[in-house]
Structure 1
Amino acid sequence: MGDVLVTGGTGNLGRIVVAKLREAGHDVVVLSRRPQPGHSVRGDLRTGQGIPAAVAGVDTILHLATAPRGDAEACSRLIAAAIEAGGAHLVFTSIVGVDRIPLRYYEAKKECERLIETSGLPFTIQRATQFHALVFRLFAAQRRMPLLVAPTCDFQPVHMRDVADRLVEHVSAGPRERVPEIGGPEVRSARSLAQSYLAAANRRRKIAAIGLPGRIFAGFRAGANLTPNHADGTLTFEDYLDERL
């Protein structure tokens, strides 16, 4: 068994984190429901099957796995298994604004934070702003529409590599509990990001800026998803587009 167990290690962020951990000299095991190439162990956070064996003997658990539903339940199962195994350092990735934007997905992340903080385990909770990839998908999903719709709010997208670097630091440093948030290097209007997307994709389309009703969009409009005092990311949205397109 390795010294670091990574849940969600086959996802977009997880693959980057696993590679960086191994580069830093850590013995990393990836938790997966299905057999994976490399050093992996089978376990299912949805049911708890295989989780006690997966966490046994590890020093750090890096919890990156996420799902539209069942995040809190999965986190609770992981915590219970970690406590039973002796109390590994649990590193959790969350999102800036989970306590101020009433999205169901965000509320589940907030509940995971609460479960971890009250578990008695040594822990580190890292909140990050939205990834460049999420903003990209927002625009790319509209590629067949006559207009490109951009919400009337700002984003501070961060590159997954910047977040991965921070997470590797936490594994090496040990428990820090709540650490400063990490955001991308720039706070940008959605319209500005849409313009950069169109330019990089070499497309000409009008941009329609729209506001949406409700408490969720009000949170974004108020900047609850931003952390301008922690603009620690180094890679801009244009850097991401250069890689992606």
Structure 2
Amino acid sequence: MTSPILVTGGTGTLGGHVLPLLRRAGREVRVLSRHARESADGVEYVACDLLARDGDRALGAALEGVETVLHLAGGPKGDDIATRNLVRAAAAAGVRHFVYISVIGADRVPLGYFRSKLGAERAVAESGLPWTTLRAAQFHDLVLKAVRTMAKMPVVPVPGGIRMQPVDAREVAARLVELALGEPAGLVPDLAGPAVHSMGELARGYLRARGKRRPMLPVRLPGKVGRAYRAAENLSLEGASFGTRTWEEFLAEHAGTVPGGKRSAGGVGSTPGETGM
């Protein structure tokens, strides 16, 4: 009998794709969740907050018998602290493989979120555990959320010079499961989407899919962050792996319209859970 794989962030968008893949691979799955849930479909849920001071006991119980940890949980801040807490407990429990999902540009983009992800990467690499880290581009789901918010305005503000390589969360999930079931590999090639788009292109694609028209207003992102994005520090153009599902294909499923102006199946708002990145 194989040992269970402990997954954090199993209730988010990425986790929702990862869990069934692990189950189809015949693996037992234990999910760390901030809130108690009933176990179902071969998935056991353990309540534990990685940022809580009194979480060590629950974390120790969650790691009992676990040889592989797949760390998907993330948020706008605190990822480095949560990851340090988790790797410390994982090392004490004798975990043999720690897999972490990070973001492309973690070491180049001067935003708090990216710095937190880089701190988490370092916590994993310096833990003494055998490890694998995958940096991925922003998910289609996150880009959809951003452009949908922008498109609610009568004039759509479009940050100039910003380009993105959105990737499908299902392709990231498949790669992570492949890595988790394999041997520790350190920092593996980035995973990005199949095409680079400007923010204007992404917004126009969404508006077309929804059958809407909006004037657009270019805006300049100031400071170090703006310079980093204009220098494409958030992109991975060489030595990366690339998904195959395009932004246009994602939009057709999640933001499309049918004759008569009605939403197609799986329209906007149909994707449950968090975007993760």
TM-score range, shorter chain: over 0.9
How far 1:2 moved relative to its partner?
5.0
- Give the whole-Å Cα distance in 2 for the aligned partners of 1:159 and 1:31: 24
SS in 2 for 1:228: coil
Answer yes or no: is the 8 Å Cα contact 1:186–1:231 preserved in 2: no
Which of 185, 194, 203 is equivalent to 2:194? 185
- Equivalent in the alignment of 1:239: 249
CA contact (8 A) 1:21 1:168 kept: yes
Query: After the TM superposition, which parts of structure 1 deviate over 3 Å for at least 4 consecutive aligned residues?
Result: none
Length-normalised TM-score, structure 1: 0.96
The whole-number CA distance in structure 2 between the counterparts of 1:8 and 1:174 is 22
Aligned to 2:203: 194
Structure 1 position 142, deviation (Å): 2.4
Unaligned 5+ residue runs, structure 2? 256-277
Q: 1:46 to 1:58 in 2, by over 3 A?
A: same
Per the normalisation by structure 2, the TM-score is: 0.85
SS of the equivalent of 1:173 reads coil
Q: What is the SS of the residue equivalent to 1:46?
A: coil
Say whether 1:131 aligns with 2:133. no
Report the equivalent of 1:40: 45
What letter is aligned with 2:104? Answer: V
- In 1, the alpha carbon distance for the partners of 2:217 and 2:25 equals 45
Tell me the CA shift for residue 88 of structure 1.
3.1
Deviation for aligned residue 1:231: 5.0
Percent sequence identity over aligned pairs = 43
Equivalences for 1:191-230 in 2 at 5 Å?
A: 191-229=200-238, 230=240
Letter in 1 for 2:112: R
The alignment covers a number of residue pairs equal to 245
Contact 1:125 1:178 in 2 (8 A): yes
- CA RMSD across the alignment: 1.4
CA distance in 2 between counterparts of 1:88 and 1:149 reads 47
Change (3 A) 1:99 1:110: same
Cα pair distance change 1:191/1:198, threshold 3 Å: same
Q: What's the CA shift string for 1:29-86, capped at 9, x where partnerless?
A: 1111222242211222111241111112112100011122221111111011111111
CA distance in 2, matches of 1:191, 1:107: 26
The AA in structure 2 aligned to 1:232 is F
State the distance in 2 between where 1:88 and 1:203 align.
51
- In the TM superposition, residue 87 of structure 1 has moved relative to its aligned partner by 2.7
Structure 1 position 119 matched with structure 2 position 131? no
Q: CA deviation at 1:124?
A: 0.3
Q: Is the 8 A contact 1:2 1:29 kept in 2?
A: no
Which is helix-richer, 1 or 2?
A: 1
Any idea what the Cα deviations from partners look like across 1:105-139, whole Å, max 9, x if unmatched?
Answer: 11010011111111110100000011111211111
- Measured in 2, the distance between the counterparts of 1:21 and 1:73 equals 27
User: How many Å separate the matches in 2 of 1:235 and 1:205?
Assistant: 27
2:71 is aligned with 1:63: yes
Aligned partner letter, 2:175:
R
